[in-house]
């Protein structure tokens, strides 16, 4: 997962980088990414051998709903900020001192920055702890009661545990 860095860049440049499963199958599989991952960034020179890459990272993750345990696709968009500095180093290094900015040091002859670890961390951080398929809808418990012939009959009913909780809440409110 690379972003090209020109040898000499005098003015800022907009870039659109698209990565697919073939570019980083292990990351796409680990993060449950579906389709392409897109970075729309501005590459700005910050000196003779230093650049700031900032913009957005967007894609779609297939997650498991914490309410229904069904898989669903969740689009996301998150900010990305990367500082790149070309120095006399043997290979690319990630400086993890600043928690807000990913700072990479790349060798003198390298004209790209591999942002795989940065992307992996950003996607993990934007993922909700308890993903919900339809967060704006009320959750309705559906019980499957067996019928006399052994098949399951679907019946839309409220989860019986809610009734017990409502009774407890009412009891607590009437206490005062």
Q: Give average pLDDT by consecutive 10-residue segment, the chain, 176 residues.
A: 79 91 94 95 89 94 89 95 88 79 88 91 92 77 58 57 85 83
Q: Is residue 131 part of a domain?
A: no
Residues 89 and 8 in one domain: yes
Q: Is the pTM of this model over 0.85?
A: no
Are the CB atoms for 41 and 57 separated by under 8 Å? no
d(CA 38, CA 25): 15
Write phi, then psi, for 93 (nearest 5 degrees).
-130, 145
Q: Which of 36, 73, 42 is nearest to 58 (CA)?
A: 36
Q: In what order do the strands lie in the sheet with 33-47?
A: 13-19, 33-47, 50-64, 71-87, 102-107, 93-95
Residues 73 and 150 in one domain: no
Residues 53 and 107 in one domain: yes
What is the domain extent for residue 54?
Answer: 2-126
Residues 119 and 163 in one domain: no
Q: Is residue 62 part of a domain?
A: yes
Q: Is residue 48 part of a domain?
A: yes
d(CA 172, CA 175): 5
Residues 37 and 85 in one domain: yes
Residues 110 and 148 in one domain: no
Q: Is residue 15 part of a domain?
A: yes
Residues 76 and 146 in one domain: no
């Amino acid at each position: 997962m690379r972003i090209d860095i020109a040898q000499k860049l005098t003015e800022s440049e907009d870039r659109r980088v698209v990565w697919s499963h073939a570019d980083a199958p292990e990351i796409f599989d680990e993060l449950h990414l579906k389709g392409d991952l897109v970075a729309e960034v501005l590459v700005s020179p910050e000196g003779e051998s230093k650049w700031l890459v900032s913009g957005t990272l967007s894609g779609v993750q297939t997650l498991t709903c914490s309410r229904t345990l069904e898989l669903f696709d969740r689009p996301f968009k998150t900010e990305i900020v990367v500082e790149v500095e070309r120095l006399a180093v043997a290979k690319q290094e990630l400086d993890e001192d600043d928690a807000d900015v990913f700072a990479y040091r790349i060798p003198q002859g390298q004209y790209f920055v591999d942002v795989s670890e940065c992307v992996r961390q950003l996607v993990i951080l934007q993922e909700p702890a308890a993903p919900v398929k339809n967060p704006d809808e009320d959750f309705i418990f559906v019980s499957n009661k067996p019928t006399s012939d052994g098949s399951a009959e679907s019946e839309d009913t409220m989860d019986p545990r809610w009734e017990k909780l409502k009774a407890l809440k009412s009891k607590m409110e009437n206490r005062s």
